[in-house]
Amino acid sequence: MADSKTVEIRIKRQLTPDGPSRRETFRVPLRPGLNIIGALMMIAENPVTAEGRQTVPVSYDANCLEEVCGSCAMVINGKVHMACSALIERLDQPIRLEPMSRFPVVRDLQVDRSRLFRDLQRVKAWIPIDGTYDLGPGPRMSQREQEAAYHFARCISCGSCLEVCPQYNDQTQFVGAAVLGQVRLFNSHPTGQMNAPERLEALLGPGGIHECGYAQNCVEICPKDIPLTQAISEVGGQVMRHVLLGFLRK
Ligand code: FES
């Protein structure tokens, strides 16, 4: 900490997707309960570095400010974290902020997570209930099934599990744990099961579940404590059964 009333924040900056990166240091007043987003808002109000040089405000994504939307994930002191729930007083100082490394940088701390959303599309991570007429009530789920599914429904697509996955990088097409968790969720839903074969088929191709190295970093870092390794095991079993049934039907 620079002194007892301010906190020093060192930020990796990159003004364009392909441009060079540099570090800038800022000092902001330390207030009780201040989080990283609050500190970034203060910097935006007065974008002057610790050396007194005028600069441009730091770009970052944030929306819900209550760890629900997942948009504010960034690397804080070397570890991916939601900026809205990262309290300054709990962090080692000076604080270092960097964009996530597994997604292309848009600007400063903003990254492009399109790959994650494309992969969710690839496995049809939804339940097809759209229609122009009343489809009627869906099938009932037992309390036990609902509780089991709820863990996976808590995913906020922040990408933290992908940031720590050794198999997820620009050389691979691995879909990663977040997507496998959603396959587990939708394949267990009575209506979602209708598309289970398509989801499992998608996981047989490039970037599918066979590319998981089972490092288990995903389950350690998940901010929502989703049992991701359980999802990977269960979906792996489903893929195996799907392949065997395919052989038997030939
Ligand atoms: S702003 Fe939504 S998770 Fe942080």
Q: Does residue 154 carry a pLDDT above 90?
A: yes
Residue 31: what are its φ and ψ, rounded to 5°? -120, 150
Give the residue-averaged pLDDT of 144-152: 95
* Structure tokens given for 8: 């020093």
Q: How confident is the model at residue 4 (pLDDT cuts 50, 70, 90)?
A: low
Atom of ligand 1 lying closest to residue 70 CA: 3
> Would you give the DSSP letter of residue 237?
H
Q: Does residue 2 carry a pLDDT above 50?
A: no
- For each of the domains in the chain, give its residue range(s) and CATH number, in order of start: 6-111 (3.10.20.30), 114-249 (1.10.1060.10)
Give the residue-averaged pLDDT of 39-61: 97
Q: How confident is the model at residue 235 (pLDDT cuts 50, 70, 90)?
A: very high
Atom of ligand 1 lying closest to residue 72 CA: 4
Measuring from atom 3 of ligand 1, which residue has the nearest CA? 67
Q: How far is the CA of 138 from the centre of ligand 1 (A)?
A: 32
Give the residue-averaged pLDDT of 139-164: 96
Q: Does residue 1 carry a pLDDT above 70?
A: no
Using DSSP's 3-state secondary structure scheme, residue 37 falls into: helix
Q: How confident is the model at residue 250 (pLDDT cuts 50, 70, 90)?
A: confident
Conformation bin of residue 216: beta by default, left when phi > 0, alpha when psi is -120 to 50 = left
* Structure tokens given for 238: 């489903």
Q: What is the CA radius of gyration of the chain?
A: 21
Query: What is the residue-averaged pLDDT of the chain?
Result: 95
With a Cβ cut-off of 6 Å, ligand 1 is lined by 62-65, 67-72, 82, 84
List, for residues 168-194, the tens digit of each pLDDT value.
999 999 999 999 999 999 999 998 999
pTM here is 0.93
Predicted pLDDT at 3: 52
Atom of ligand 1 lying closest to residue 62 CA: 1
Atom of ligand 1 lying closest to residue 85 CA: 4
Give the residue-averaged pLDDT of 49-60: 98
Predicted pLDDT at 143: 96
Q: Does residue 136 carry a pLDDT above 80?
A: no
Q: How far is the CA of 66 from the centre of ligand 1 (A)?
A: 5
Strand 6-14 versus strand 95-98 pairing type: parallel
Q: Does residue 42 carry a pLDDT above 60?
A: yes
The answer to whether 62 and 37 are in contact (CB under 8 A) is: yes
Q: How far is CA 246 from CA 36, 122, 199, in A?
A: 51, 20, 14
Q: Does residue 203 carry a pLDDT above 50?
A: yes
